[in-house]
């Protein structure tokens, strides 16, 4: 059952969220400002401006083009932060660039290990993320049956590092975002787990709020609690009002409630930003909109491909 959780993490889009839990303003991309910590009001941790800019482009704006530009700069001057490599791995995962995923997951882990003495909380946290990404890569490239024994051992290491980070500060926002997403997946897929505890963790200690509420919305969606999921995604949109992936999530929620017109309207809002999304994601959104309108699998697939090629 445990390896099933790891596999579902990789397949359902949670992987992109696990490695990146820092926010910033896009103006940092070109401004010579000092590093800071945008989501801790006290006990700040040094996070480079290009790393922060990449995160906001990635997760607040849903702009993968700007995120890629910021990551290139971060790789030049801030490559000692494991967060940088976690984001690069996440973007490569979307492109199914397995060689880059493996390389950057390994660098996430090694850079995190180098942080253990100076910053043990983030060191343990991103050690967990790096190992988790290595497990997701293993299952994606070798399949569930062959990779299960190794993946189980990796998952135990992930939880061990998370536990060490909790001993340092169990209320840390960055830590609670990572653990909150993990706990939600466990709660959705293991009947004896309590999703409310994970949701409470994200709502009380997770930050930035748009990412915390996005996690809550995903959890409620997978639990079949559509009204609660809709409330959560609306709260995420309050602080990330132009994020196409939030529009996409809202479109899915409307569709599951047979609200076709509202669903199509949200798909259209997401597709208005298609040029800044990975082609695979833009194609998926278009195809789901087409299927919502009653198109066939084959016809919608062709239309979606044509749409992406015309961008």
* Position 213 in a domain: yes
* Position 249 in a domain: no
pLDDT at 33 > cutoff 60:
no
Q: How far apart are CA 8 and CA 12, in angstroms?
A: 6
Output the domain CATH number for residue 203: 1.25.40.10
User: What does the pLDDT look like over 105-162, one tens digit per residue?
Assistant: 999 999 999 999 999 999 999 999 999 889 888 888 888 778 878 888 888 899 999 9
For 47, 117, 161, 173, 234, the CA distances from 124, given in Å and listed in that order, are: 16, 10, 5, 14, 32
Span 37-59, average pLDDT:
73
Look at residue 305 in the predicted model and tell me its pLDDT: 97
Q: How far apart are CA 125 and CA 86, in angstroms?
A: 12
Q: What are phi and psi of 47, to 5 degrees?
A: -130, 125
| 82 beta partners | none
Span 65-94, average pLDDT:
93
Look at residue 41 in the predicted model and tell me its pLDDT: 57
* Position 234 in a domain: yes
Question: Could you tell me how many residues make up the chain?
Answer: 311
Q: pTM here?
A: 0.82
Look at residue 7 in the predicted model and tell me its pLDDT: 44
Q: What are phi and psi of 183, to 5 degrees?
A: -65, -35
210-221 burial code (b ≥16 CB/10 A, e <16): bbbbbbbbbbbb
* Position 231 in a domain: yes
Q: Is 40 helix (H, G, I), strand (E, B) or coil?
A: coil
The number of folded domains in the chain is: 1
pLDDT at 56 > cutoff 50:
yes
**Which percentage of the chain shows pLDDT scores above 90?**
54
| Average model confidence (pLDDT) across the chain | 83
Contact of 209 with 29, CB cutoff 8 Å: no
* Position 107 in a domain: yes
* Position 289 in a domain: no
User: What does the pLDDT look like over 150-180, one tens digit per residue?
Assistant: 888 888 899 999 999 999 999 888 888 888 8
Full domain range(s) for residue 57:
2-242
State the pLDDT confidence band at 208, using cuts at 50, 70 and 90. Answer: confident
| Closest to 66 in 3D by CA, of 104, 25, 35, 14 | 25
> 61-75, 196-210, 289-303: which has the minimum mean pLDDT?
196-210
| Closest to 244 in 3D by CA, of 277, 214, 292 | 277
Peptide bond preceding 175 in cis form (omega within 30 of 0): no
Q: How far apart are CA 90 and CA 101, in angstroms?
A: 7
Q: What are phi and psi of 206, to 5 degrees?
A: -80, 145
State the pLDDT confidence band at 181, using cuts at 50, 70 and 90. Answer: confident
Q: Is 103 helix (H, G, I), strand (E, B) or coil?
A: helix
* Position 311 in a domain: no
* Position 116 in a domain: yes
Q: Is 41 helix (H, G, I), strand (E, B) or coil?
A: coil
Residue 276: DSSP 8-state:
G
Span 10-25, average pLDDT:
36
Look at residue 42 in the predicted model and tell me its pLDDT: 62
Look at residue 264 in the predicted model and tell me its pLDDT: 98
Look at residue 15 in the predicted model and tell me its pLDDT: 41
pLDDT at 14 > cutoff 60:
no
């Amino acid at each position: 059952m445990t390896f099933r959780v790891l596999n579902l993490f990789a397949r359902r889009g949670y992987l992109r969220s696990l490695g990146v839990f820092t926010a910033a303003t896009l103006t940092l991309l070109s401004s010579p400002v000092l590093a800071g910590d945008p989501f801790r009001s006290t006990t700040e941790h040094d996070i480079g401006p290009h790393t922060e800019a990449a995160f906001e482009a990635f997760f607040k704006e849903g702009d993968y083009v700007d995120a890629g530009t910021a990551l290139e700069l971060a790789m030049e001057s801030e490559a000692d932060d494991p967060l940088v490599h976690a984001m690069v791995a996440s973007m490569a995962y979307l492109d199914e660039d397995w060689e880059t995923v493996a390389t950057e997951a390994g660098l996430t882990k090694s850079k995190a290990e180098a942080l253990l003495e100076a910053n043990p909380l983030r060191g343990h946290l991103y050690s967990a993320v790096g190992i988790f990404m290595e497990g997701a890569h293993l299952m994606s490239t070798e399949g569930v049956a062959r990779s299960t024994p190794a993946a189980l051992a990796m998952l135990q290491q992930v939880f061990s590092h998370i536990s060490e980070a909790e001993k340092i500060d169990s209320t840390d926002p960055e830590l609670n975002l990572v653990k909150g997403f993990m706990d939600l997946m466990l709660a959705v897929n293991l009947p004896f787990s309590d999703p409310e505890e994970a949701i409470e963790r994200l709502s009380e200690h997770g930050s930035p709020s748009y990412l915390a509420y996005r996690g809550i919305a995903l959890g409620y969606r997978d639990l079949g609690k559509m009204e609660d999921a809709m409330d959560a995604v609306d709260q995420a949109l309050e602080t990330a009002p132009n994020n196409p992936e939030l529009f996409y999530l809202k479109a899915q929620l409307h569709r599951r409630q047979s609200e076709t017109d509202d669903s199509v309207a949200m798909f259209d809002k997401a597709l208005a930003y298609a040029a800044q999304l990975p082609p695979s994601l833009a194609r998926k959104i278009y195809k789901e909109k087409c299927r919502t309108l009653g198109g066939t699998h084959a016809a919608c697939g062709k239309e979606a491909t044509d749409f992406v090629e015309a961008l």
